Structure 1
Amino acid sequence: MRIEKIKNRGILFTHINPEWNLNIYLIIGKKQNYIIDTGLGSLSIAPINEYLKNHNKQTIVINSHHHWDHIWGNNSLRNSTIISHKLCSEMIESKWKDMMQKNKQYCYGEVEMYLPNLVFENELYFPEDKIRLFHTPGHTLDSISVLDEEEKVLFVGDNIGDSMDEIIPSIYCDKDVYISTMKKYKEIDFDTCISGHNIVLKKEVIGKILSMM
């Protein structure tokens, strides 16, 4: 596990895998802490829990979308509020058995289905910490992004591909929907971009993706 400080209040935990790296992003807010995605199981969450053991605040957990590598650690954080798009919760439940059967070799520690317990459709805002969650379909129909307005850091989930060689991700919806989300990103005030698998990038990557579409 690689741990990297991002600006003043972000910590990026990266699980190094021969096939692809996997990011979990933690924001230390003034009022609450925010964990974005939960990885491959309980062992993905263990380093985050260790990091937070001296931070006596409520923890908010966010699922960027329903894919297995972003939600398998939910059960290890079941005492927290776990937030997702409404579609995400529905898709986790309907696709759980299939995702487990096809990908069980990637389980990292204990894995048990635990659904988000707070869902939204368009946008959710935490004003005390200036954290904004909003629907950004593209990689999947249920994908959301998280903007740290204070630090100008945008977490885009898998709306950016796994590497610089494959910067456009697999798209499980209409291509025009994905392009619309990329255009939305261009209008947002941020300078640092974090995704589910890639390295830390600058906002310029959005223009690069649009030029390739």
Structure 2
Amino acid sequence: MNAPIRILIHGASGRMGQALLRLASERTDLEVIAAVSRKVESRVIDGVPRFAANELSGVPEFDVAIDFSLPEGFDGILAACLSRRAGLVSGTTGLSAAQQDALASAATEIPVVWSANYSLGVAVLNDLVERAASALAGWDCDIVESHHVHKKDAPSGTALALGASAERGGAQPRYASIRAGDIVGEHLVQFAALGERVELVHRATSRDIFARGALHAASRLTGRPAGRYRLRDLLD
């Protein structure tokens, strides 16, 4: 039996960090060796050592870090991964152009994946959208995304990523956004022509799907050569 993959969770006190810790504990192929957050009140919780963000240099050896933090914490975890030659799975949004450049540079030395959405279903949807756009040349393409009332950005990052997939297939997408109730996330990509319409839809009903997707990415990224990977590259 292979040894478990050693995981470091960066941004452990956030909602995604808490979900990652909970779901990782249910897997036998993964071992969380450290949880990192801005502040630490207890050194060990549920058997997992805790470290403050300014203590990254002292964490145990790890195979891959999963980062759902803030842009101000991104540079530190990227540097830690480079120094340990470990992989990085990041879902931190709002990165600056310089940080995106640093991520691209790091990919020449370690395996990295960055995504605004770690749903495996959305990864498949992106592939389907690109293929549909390529096959349905000249059709209208509209993307409608729905989220809870507290989400501020519109269109969502996922909708823009779907739009980029449509553009790669030759379509020119238009966007519409709905903010209502407690909707976790819904994305509809519609292709329409005279007399017919194709709809591709993804509906999220639990935020756990994003944590599960990030854990899947971490398990598939470990052992791969240096490079920048998409989540859809790690589905197999």
User: TM (normalized to structure 1)?
Assistant: 0.27
More helix by share: 2
The structure number with the bigger radius of gyration is: 2
